[in-house]
Structure 1
Amino acid sequence: MSGGSLLRRFLIWLRGLWSGRPELSAHERLLGTVDQLYGEGSVVKDDRDRLDGILHLGELEVYDIMVHRTAMRTINADDMPAEVIRQILESPFTRLPLWRGSSDNIVGVIHAKDLLRAMAEPDFERDKLDISKIAQKPWFVPDSTNLKDQLNAFLRRKVHFALVVDEYGDVQGLVTLEDILEEIVGEIADEHDIDVQGVRQEADGSIVVDGSVPIRDLNRALDWNLPDDHATTIAGLVIHESQMIPEERQSFTFHGKRFFVMKREKNRITRLRIRPAGDEAAAVAAGE
């Protein structure tokens, strides 16, 4: 179905549904219309996910989708120039936070293109490179900023990268324009992307998932409906529902799924196996 045809059908449905449901907000009516169109087969899953992503953009905060500080790749401004250059050129990311003295003290953001431009200068001397002089000023945004506002801020400032801080000003992670767009259109991959999906289907039909995988990504990939109002990641969901930090080989059943903790590192659940709640025979056969 073409984009124009989809939009026309969408507007026709809106006109019919809104007239008879005055008790619902406009946002709730839109969500209900998308779900109904999808249920009747008028909208394919990819289109439903994109419309759903747009409609939920204002309900999510930067904290929900950011790259956590423990997973950030950063550059120490005090490293030897040759080491700094190597790290930047070998990184799969074009923008990297630059810190000095402490990893919490972000002093800039280095763009690989700016480094290459500096290296192309006739008088460039590798051993005299001061990486902080070619770094861009860091932009810090509150972790409570909703994605709609952050998207508008990215477009207004014409930048793609921001560092996320909490109410005390401590760096919690980073967010990019691509991160927000992926909430609308799904995973954006190119030839330099690292495989961060962290979801693998096994031969027995079970799903092995890294604990850090966002619930929304899992729901989109598998057409599930796990709740994400109290937790952002799948590990967070298990901790929230079980009201504990599970041990390895513990299992829990909720929301129609059986969650088996495969691996835990310190207090973090790093890998889970998920299967339908009723698939007890397969769970027993797998020693779960």
Structure 2
Amino acid sequence: MDGDSIRLLIGIILTVAAVLWITVTEKLLKNGWSSKSEQEEKKAQKKLFEKPEDRLASLSFIKMLMLIVLGSLQTIFLERFAEGFLLWFYLVICAMVYWLTAEGLLKMVATTNYNKWFSRSRWLVNLLVMICKPINRLKEKSLQIMNLSSSDIDQDNEILSLLDSIRVESDLSDQEYQLIQSAIHFKDLEANDILTPRVDVIAAELQADHDEIEDLFYEHGYSRILIYDDTIDHVVGVLHQKDFIQFMKKAYLYNKNISLTSILKPTVVAPPNMKIAVLLKMLQEKKTHMAVITDEYGITSGIVTLEDIVEELVGEIWDEHDEIEEEMIALDNQTYRVLAHANIDKVLRLFDIEDEFTSNTVSGFVIEAMGKMPAEGDSFFYHQLKITVLKLGFHRIHEVLIECTEEEQEDDLLIDDFVRSFEIEANEKEILF
């Protein structure tokens, strides 16, 4: 090798070392942010974790520059000394060495030399923050113009990534893992995501016979039901079972003609797009357990109960009177029977499908995908899934069958979407002309 080649190789080694140092420091800083901040051995180390966003952003920016430099140096090196099989051999070896070195350094530092690593690296991290300060400020200004916050963009992903690493390295149980995941996603959920739809709401008319109301309580086992005047779009209050029992006793024993409205509790009304975290606080302030969800036209969309909100954190809550109903039953390793009111995101996530939909339920997804109200036996393919409608009733889908095929099928939905969009475009042109 000549002098230029040696300098080139030294440059590659130094750049790799810099990338390794940034990778390990960045990873430990994230972990330290969540679990190491309790260490009080050194005030300077604690100060390092007071505002980790700037440090992480600076490290990420420098790492990106180093990777660009590394890629350029490697390209020059490969053009001079490697070709054909040697090229691929060199790339594989470099990748393995980098990965093994980074993992080895991370485990070694994390277990034995954590404090020493940061005591020696602190000044360099602070120097990088000072150098990258103008760039970080420019990024913040750009995000403010777009009404975004840098602390919110990747924060959930970083927490979930950290959670995955903790789960691997510790004895975190599946239940604890699911609880933390639910808490992270909790703030993004809206009332429309968890409501009981209008058609499933148990309610009674204000002028209904008292025996009918009593039958509703005993038949469905609820402690509270809605009372409406004329239509369910005009809810006048919430009736508690214990208040109704006292009401019936007084009417029977003392032959008093008491109005049902006197024992009704006021309702909490909320829009479908209200965050359930905000709705939870509202229910707590109003000291009530149920909210009526109405759209912009005053039409009742459904209800959300305190139990519905809590279940989003801890999972389904069953009492001794509930009839346990499995939303998804495995018939075999590849076939599942799914209730139509099951959450479509949760169902497809089991098949590693992360697509987003406007519908919340399996029923809504099927109707949205097929562009019509299907008949029993209708089916379509979506990715590697064959979805068949099993049961219908009163213009509603009750059950579907999901079969997981080995290979991804030609997506009928894409064809249907194209045809529907073509028809809509043609109709618009007819209207215009």
Q: Say yes or no: does 1:63 pair with 2:192.
A: yes
Q: Is 2:334–2:405's contact at 8 Å kept on the other side of the alignment?
A: no
Q: Which has the larger radius of gyration?
A: 2
Provide runs of 4+ in structure 1 moved above 6 Å: none
Q: Is 2:233–2:298's contact at 8 Å kept on the other side of the alignment?
A: no
From 176, 180, 183, the equivalent of 2:309 is: 180
Q: Is 1:141–1:165's contact at 8 Å kept on the other side of the alignment?
A: yes
What is the aligned partner in structure 2 of residue 275 from structure 1?
403
Paired amino acid for 2:228: W
Gapped regions of structure 1 (runs ≥ 5): 1-7, 281-288
What is the aligned partner in structure 2 of residue 165 from structure 1?
294
**Larger deviation: 48-57 or 266-275?**
266-275
Return the alpha-carbon distance in structure 2 between the equivalents of residues 67 and 60 of structure 1. 15
Between the two structures, name the one with larger relative contact order (CA 8 Å, sep ≥ 6). 1
Gapped regions of structure 2 (runs ≥ 5): 1-30, 38-48, 61-149, 409-433
Return the alpha-carbon distance in structure 2 between the equivalents of residues 9 and 160 of structure 1. 40
What is the aligned partner in structure 2 of residue 286 from structure 1?
none
Paired amino acid for 1:210: L
Q: Is 2:269–2:292's contact at 8 Å kept on the other side of the alignment?
A: yes
In the superposition, the TM-score normalised over structure 2's length comes to 0.54
Greater share of helix? 2
**Larger deviation: 92-101 or 148-157?**
148-157
Q: Say yes or no: does 1:102 pair with 2:231.
A: yes
Post-superposition CA distance 1:81-118 (Å, at most 9, x none): 23223323443111100012223221111011212233
Say what the alpha-carbon RMSD is for the aligned residues.
3.4
From 173, 181, 205, the equivalent of 1:52 is: 181
What is the aligned partner in structure 1 of residue 34 from structure 2?
11
Q: Taking every aligned residue pair, what percent have the same amino acid on both sides?
A: 24
3-state secondary structure, aligned to 2:402: strand
3-state secondary structure, aligned to 1:136: coil
3-state secondary structure, aligned to 2:233: strand
Return the alpha-carbon distance in structure 1 between the equivalents of residues 345 and 219 of structure 2. 30
What is the aligned partner in structure 2 of residue 207 from structure 1?
336
- Distance apart, 1:216 and its partner CA: 4.7
Return the alpha-carbon distance in structure 1 between the equivalents of residues 351 and 168 of structure 2. 12
Q: Is 2:251–2:257's contact at 8 Å kept on the other side of the alignment?
A: no
Show the 5 A alignment for 1:229-240.
Answer: 229-240=357-368
Q: Say yes or no: does 1:86 pair with 2:86.
A: no
Cα distance change of structure 1 residues 274 and 129 upon mapping to structure 2, 3 Å threshold: farther
Matched residue count: 271
In the superposition, the TM-score normalised over structure 1's length comes to 0.79
What is the aligned partner in structure 2 of residue 4 from structure 1?
none
From 263, 277, 280, the equivalent of 1:148 is: 277
3-state secondary structure, aligned to 1:164: strand
- Distance apart, 1:172 and its partner CA: 0.8
Q: Is 1:82–1:126's contact at 8 Å kept on the other side of the alignment?
A: no
Q: Is 1:81–1:127's contact at 8 Å kept on the other side of the alignment?
A: no
Cα distance change of structure 1 residues 82 and 123 upon mapping to structure 2, 3 Å threshold: closer
Show the 5 A alignment for 1:128-143.
Answer: 128=257, 130-143=259-272
Return the alpha-carbon distance in structure 1 between the equivalents of residues 257 and 177 of structure 2. 53
Greater share of strand? 1
Cα distance change of structure 1 residues 279 and 119 upon mapping to structure 2, 3 Å threshold: farther
Q: Is 2:334–2:404's contact at 8 Å kept on the other side of the alignment?
A: no
- Distance apart, 1:205 and its partner CA: 5.0
**Larger deviation: 136-145 or 203-212?**
203-212
- Distance apart, 1:170 and its partner CA: 1.2
Post-superposition CA distance 1:109-165 (Å, at most 9, x none): 101121223345597457845322211112211111011111222222222111110
- Distance apart, 1:58 and its partner CA: 2.2
